[in-house]
Each structure stands twice: as structure tokens, then as C-alpha cells.
Chain A
Amino acid sequence: MRPILLQGHERSLTQIKYTKDGDILFSCAKDQVICAWFSANGERLGTYHGHQGALWTVDIDPSTTLLASGAADNTVRLWDIRTGKCVKVWNFDTAVKRVDFNEDGTRLLAVTEKRMGFLGTIVVLDVIVDVEAEQSDEKALVITCDESKATVAAWSYLSRYIIAGHEDGSVSQYDGKTGELIYNSPAHEEGMQVTDLQMSSDRTYFITASKDKSAKLHSSRDLTLLKTYLSDTPLNTAAITPKKPFVILGGGQAAMDVTTTGARQGKFEARFYHKVFEDEIGRVKGHFGPLNTVAVDPLGRGYASGGEDGYVRVHAFDRGYFDFGYEVEREVGGAGAGGY
């Protein structure tokens, strides 16, 4: 496969995300601009200007009408995807590290940083999926994390729960309506931050990546640990591939440690693991720095990775990827693992 290199950012990437149809890819970096790209040919559709600080996160509503972004300028902004205009700004006390739309795009959660005496919170905002509509200033729900701040969060199936990953390596489940803490389980090693949390396409299970060099698959309903994927480097991101039963992990040494070790030891590769058997099945090289974010095309045709080096690499899977299957899978399914 020949990756498409996107050079729209001057600083390291923080998050990339596909639309639900997989046709547009959004990328945000610390350089205050969001870029929209056609994933098929790497053409840039446009850029979104307005943020005054490093961008940490983006998300797209399922109908590809609105784009939400969170940044270090303590705001969450809502954008008209088609024109690039900002339609709403919500102000917070601290930086916003993660935003996530629920399944129908009517609720948006935002994770705020713990800083300057403010505790980390998860805020839920009601959104009207219409560019013209007047969005409410009201915060529908505020969950305060007094133990360890949340670093990442996402909505579970039917918006029933909010799943959050914390700085101390634990994962917790909150009620989506009342904000009540239901479970908190120590998913990763104590004190090892959860760096990414991505839902499966039906949001019934999710994957977490952590600095403790492992990624784990949990069920959304009761946070049961389903699978563990071990690697040899701190992980920044993890994604679940649709169509094929794989997961993609990305990481590499922290940018600050890179100069103190050999260039070849960087481990700046995307690692593919089998979702069920937990074996590593391959790696994709390319980045010059650690991978900060990986996103998978919701239709399973490819994936994209964004690195500390400021590049986004968009890969379209080729035959070898789709043909691969374990012996057992072939015997049972006949057509590989089409059912996943």
C-alpha cells in the first residue's frame, strides 16, 4: 500500500477522526488549525480557524453537519463542516482535552483539564444538529473527577453510559443521564495514564491505550476486561478495526526521550494485533516520531495515523490485509472474518 502524506500542520498532531461515511478525515494539531481532508485522495477540503490555543481534540456528528473541537484556549467550538464557520463557542475554566458526540449527535461531552485550582470535569452539552439553530449555553451535566482527573472519555451504546479513562490508569463508568459513578476499575498499572479510548463501531466495547505499554479491550456494560495487548513501548493511541478483527496500537517513546536513545530504537510504528488472539500480526513503519493518534475508516477500508512529526499518513489496506485470517477463522467463517 502507498500511504498518502498530509502536511497541513506545523506542529505535532493531537487527534484525527473520520466521518461516519469515512470520506472526510479531520485532523487537529497543536498549531491551532483544524484541517479537513478527503480520505480517498488526500485533497484538503478546508481549514477551520478561530482557536487561540493548541487543539487537543475533534469530533464529528454522525450526519457530518457539525464539527466539535476542544483546545487549550479553554473553549469548545462547534463548526459548520461545510463552510468552515464557527457556530458556537462554549467557555470553560481550563483546557479541553477530549470531545465526543453520542450516537445521534444530540449530546456532546467535553473533558476538561485539572489546573489552576479547578478539578478535572466531564461536561455534557446539548447540541441541536443544525447549522442555523441557536445552541444552548447551558451545561446539561457536570461530572467532577475528584480522585484522578479524566484524560479521555466517550459515550457508550445508546448514550447510556459515559466511559472515562483517568490519569491514574483507571477506567470508570458514569450514568449518561445522572452523571453518577457506577464503576471504577483499575484497568492499567497504577499511575500510568490512559492515553486513548476508542469505541467499537456499535459502542458495546472499547479499547484503552496506556503509558504502561499495554492496550486493553473492555465491555461498556460492566467494564469487564476482555483482552490485553502487550507491547514494548508506551502507547498513545489504540483503535479497533471494523470488518477485520484487528486492533491498531500506536506509540513510541515520549518526544522528550527521543534524543537520549538511538534513532532506530524509536519504535515509531503502527502495530497491528489480532483482536481475539492478542498476537501481534504486523507493523507499519513511516513516521519519524511517536504516533499520537490513529483512526480507522468506519468502513474498514483503511486507517490514518498522526504523529509527533506533524504528518498524517493515510493508508488504504490492500489485499494481503483482507485475505489474512487464522486457520480457525477460515474453517469457521469460510469468508474469513466478515462477521465482525
Chain B
Amino acid sequence: MAITVKLDDLLHDNRMTLTELAERVDITLANLSILKTGKAKAMRFSTLEAICRELKCQPGDLLRYVPADPE
């Protein structure tokens, strides 16, 4: 997918673990791992809002568009 989630960087910047974030945003660790590894198909605004609130960032800080290589 051309959209990547920069959750690792933001967690590092905020000195927070994935488990801690999962507890704070009330999402299971399994689902947050899916999001982190880029396997999620879609993201709810409520999830985005919760993550941005806890990691003190903007949606643009969390998501990045990487154009796919032209075949």
C-alpha cells in the first residue's frame, strides 16, 4: 500500500510503548500492531483522533504517502 504509518517513530519520540498506547487509545494491541505494520485496510477518524491526542501529533505526522514504483 502506498500509505505508510509512522507509528514507530512517533512512539519513539514520545517514549511510549505500543502496549501503553493501546491502553490509552482503547484499541487492542493486536489491532494496533496491524496498523503499525501497515496491514490495515482502513482507519476510523476516531482512531486517528485518539492516536493524535495521545502522541501529540497531526494526522500528517502519522501517515505518509509513498508513491508505488511504476512497473
- A and B from one complex: no
Residues of B whose CB lies within 8 Å of any CB of A are none
